[in-house]
Amino acid sequence: MNERIKKLREQSLRIHPYISMERASLLTDFYQSGETRGVSNPVMRALAFRYIMENNAVRFNEGELIVGERGTAPRATPTYPEITVHSLKNLEILDSREKTSYYVDEETRELYEKKIIPYWKERSIRERIFKEVSQEWKDAFEAGVFTAKSKPPPLEVVYNISKKINSKAMPLKAFWLGNHHLLCRWSFTEFMEQRAPGHTVLDDKIYKKGLEDRSLTEESARELLQAFWIKFNNQPAPPKVGVTAEESGTYTDFTLINSGGVKADGSDAVNELTYLILDVIEEMRILQPGSMIQLSKKNPDRFLKRALKIIKTGFGQPSIFNADVIVQELVRQGKSIEDARNGGASGCVEAGAFGKENYSLTGYFNLVKVLEITLHNGTDPGTGKKIGIETGDPADFRSFIDLFKAFERQVNYFVDIKIEGSNIIDRIFAEYIPAPFLSILIDDCIAEGKDYHDGGARYNTNYIQGVGLGSITDILTSIKYNVFDKEHLSMEELLEILKNNFKNNETLRQRFLNRTPKFGNDDDYADDIIRSVFEIYYNAVNGRPNTRGGCFRINLLPTTVHVYFGRVVGATADGRKASEPLSEGISPVQGADRHGPTAVIKSVSKIDHDRTGGTLLNQKFIPQLLADEEGIDKVARLVRSYFSPDGHHIQMNVVTADTRRAAQKNPEKHRDLIVRVAGYSDYFCDLNTGLQNEIIARTEHESV
């Protein structure tokens, strides 16, 4: 990279994230101005957007090719008081916590105390939500059965750009990347006409034309791409505290650059720009934007192997998605084949039709907690509250089928509560914070005359993310094996042992850990149970109507919530002690997969990935495995083998557990260590201790 890019990259890495009050202050000024009287909410939101654009300060960062920030400067982070209002205590936590802190100066605290909190405290979406959802929803939420809706902030990433460019009348090079990793040079008005946030599909002919007419060289294109990467890295995620921070405790804001895959006509989309982008991913080595490859059977092996050569450096990027399965998933959901091929994955692993769909994450669902409540006949042992339905005293269950049916009833009960609450939340978003600017960008909103949050998009999907699939499988497998089949102990004895967190029962715990079938080892005793759990969850959620004319579907991903969900669950029959993390994604329980990665992919292939909107599989390899071409060839064949029976996604950590332990002990010596967490990469030293330990505990494969 040249000196310009080196300087901008260093600046992006050096500046500690901090809270910018500009947006919150301007928004509050507008709502207090009196211009909102007698104005509908959609018009009010549009006027507020205009007010922010017209009144934010003009800033250019020295040396930039792409200008504009979400906050007042690189790494400055705005807040969104109309969605949730940070208390002064929240600000103190953000400023002082050891991990993912945000600097909060005294001026910001004073402004919040005197201006932001007094106006927004009773008006925020969060306040409205907790006034309108049922007590049953609140009880389940507080117990950790599920989390609330995961809504992105309003689309204002570019509001700091438009006026600056127009007022300066400056021609400026800019571009956006999308599903087929293509490059364009736009004016910024054009930049603001992108079809969806982060998901614009362009034609690589523009790149080729630039080379032909000499308005672009490969090196200038590389420099623009590098500047683009830095621009993304300048945007930390909005600050989070409480359960929201537990869901995704990271500075990463879950942008995901898609590359490869197929074109709208189904042909191979890999081209010379693909490899230039992969070069930039390797050269820049920064967290944002996240990167992935869409791997189709029509793509050449050279493409996959180039990605693996980046992965082997220990960066944790790019992740690898099955482009053909994404198309199958989206077509099964009712998308046209062309819209499906032009779609892909965003965030962590969730699939959608780019520029045409509102696909919303509505919160995480704790499958293991539901079983714990089932084993206590509807009572949450953590709070002592009766929050579930009575499905029978477990001591009276005469067979594993009795237990499984009780678990199924409990899952259906809590899914009903979750969906009822999610629909209430959707209506609140549609009524109180419509998104007129975003509605311009998403196909069919204008034609339908409906807001993005109100069913205007061509397709409308709510995903509920199931968490702990490996854990729930091993727990149920252990109960079936040890209580009902082998009769090593009774249900009463098991529940008493779990209540006491295996105190004085380490021998039995070791039996659960080491002498009981486990998911991830191509053992049908356990794998048959994961199929059944999958069907329960799928049938409980899939096809249920949402408020936007679409329906609910399932995802299987955790971000970081598997650590929080584990903390609210007591000891479990797979040998896990109370409060330890659950499994992440569809990966086996940490350390339970003992027969190599081939056995893992055989196990996880036994669920029907294309009936989901995304699954997440983490694998960990020692660096020596990918040290030469032979090793890369083997891992490439492993990926192709997994994708052949329709696996959705795989990502790899190529850093030893010993290196992670050293970083945990001496973080100052390993500040640049990046690892794959769930659907994203992060600095290992920025992760909380529980998450660090969970990643260290994942099985380290030495061969394929």
What's the pLDDT score for residue 215? 85
Alpha-carbon dihedral of residues 261, 262, 267, 269, nearest 10 degrees?
-60
| Domain-located, residue 317 | no
348 classed as catalytic: yes
- pLDDT at position 175 over 60: no
How far is residue 645's CA from residue 404's CA, in Å, rounded to a whole number?
28
Out of 184, 246, 329, 348, the active site residue is 348
Q: Which of 301, 281, 283 lies closest to 292 in space, CA to CA?
A: 281
Domain boundary among 123, 146, 179: 123
Q: Which of 582, 536, 586 lies closest to 557 in space, CA to CA?
A: 586
Mean local confidence (pLDDT), 310-338:
95
Q: Which of 72, 94, 156, 81 lies closest to 122 in space, CA to CA?
A: 81
Per-residue tokens: 387? 């929050």
> What are the tens digits of pLDDT across the range 555-601?
999 988 999 999 999 999 999 999 999 999 999 999 999 999 999 99
What's the pLDDT score for residue 36? 77
What's the pLDDT score for residue 193? 28
| Domain-located, residue 196 | no
Mean local confidence (pLDDT), 72-89:
94
**3-class state of residue 471 by DSSP:** helix
How far is residue 696's CA from residue 584's CA, in Å, rounded to a whole number?
13
Q: What is the 3-state secondary structure (H, E, C) of 684-697?
A: HHHCCHHHHHHHHH
How far is residue 97's CA from residue 92's CA, in Å, rounded to a whole number?
8
How far is residue 557's CA from residue 364's CA, in Å, rounded to a whole number?
8
> What are the tens digits of pLDDT across the range 608-662?
999 999 999 999 999 998 999 999 999 999 999 999 999 999 999 898 889 889 9
Residues across the chain:
704
Out of 64, 156, 223, 350, the active site residue is 350
Mean local confidence (pLDDT), 99-121:
96
What's the pLDDT score for residue 188? 54
Q: Which domain holds residue 507?
A: 358-615
**3-class state of residue 261 by DSSP:** coil
What's the pLDDT score for residue 674? 87
| Domain-located, residue 116 | yes
Residue keyed to tokens 């021998």: 507
| Domain-located, residue 225 | no
pLDDT band at 170 (very low <50, low <70, confident <90, very high): very low
| Domain-located, residue 224 | no
| Domain-located, residue 581 | yes
Mean local confidence (pLDDT), 42-67:
89
Domain boundary among 615, 636, 665: 615
Domain boundary among 584, 615, 646: 615
Mean local confidence (pLDDT), 49-58:
88
192 Cβ contact list (under 8 Å, min separation 6): 158, 161, 162
- pLDDT at position 168 over 70: no
| Residue 584 φ/ψ region, left for φ over 0, alpha for ψ in the -120 to 50 degree band, beta for the rest | beta
630 Cβ contact list (under 8 Å, min separation 6): none
Could you tell me the strand order of the sheet in which 700-701 lies? 256-260, 290-295, 319-322, 649-653, 618-621, 700-701
What's the pLDDT score for residue 150? 52
- pLDDT at position 169 over 80: no
Alpha helices (runs of H) in 289-435, residue ranges in sequence order: 301-310, 323-332, 337-341, 367-374, 400-432
Cβ–Cβ under 8 Å, residues 164 and 121: no
> What are the tens digits of pLDDT across the range 225-276?
999 999 999 999 999 998 888 888 899 988 888 999 999 999 999 998 899 9
What's the pLDDT score for residue 699? 83
- Other beta carbons within 10 angstroms of residue 83's beta carbon come to 19
184 classed as catalytic: no
- pLDDT at position 205 over 50: yes
Mean local confidence (pLDDT), 346-363:
93
* Mean pLDDT for the chain overall: 89
Q: Which residue has the higher pLDDT, 160 or 61?
A: 61
Residue keyed to tokens 């479990």: 572
Pairing status of strand 344-346 against strand 319-322:
unpaired
Mean local confidence (pLDDT), 447-476:
97
C-alpha distances (whole Å) from 153 to each of 104, 125, 209, 290, 462 are 20, 12, 36, 18, 17
Residue keyed to tokens 């899939």: 542
What's the pLDDT score for residue 651? 94
| Domain-located, residue 628 | no
- pLDDT at position 182 over 50: no
| Domain-located, residue 418 | yes
What's the pLDDT score for residue 5? 97
pTM of the model: 0.91
pLDDT band at 177 (very low <50, low <70, confident <90, very high): very low
Helix axes 135-143, 400-432, angle to 10 degrees: 110
> What are the tens digits of pLDDT across the range 434-455?
999 889 989 999 999 999 999 9
Q: Which residue has the higher pLDDT, 335 or 196?
A: 335
- pLDDT at position 329 over 70: yes
Q: Which of 685, 643, 678 lies closest to 304 in space, CA to CA?
A: 643
- pLDDT at position 178 over 70: no
Q: Which residue has the higher pLDDT, 229 or 175?
A: 229
Q: How many domains does the chain have?
A: 2
Residue keyed to tokens 């998308």: 335
What's the pLDDT score for residue 231? 92
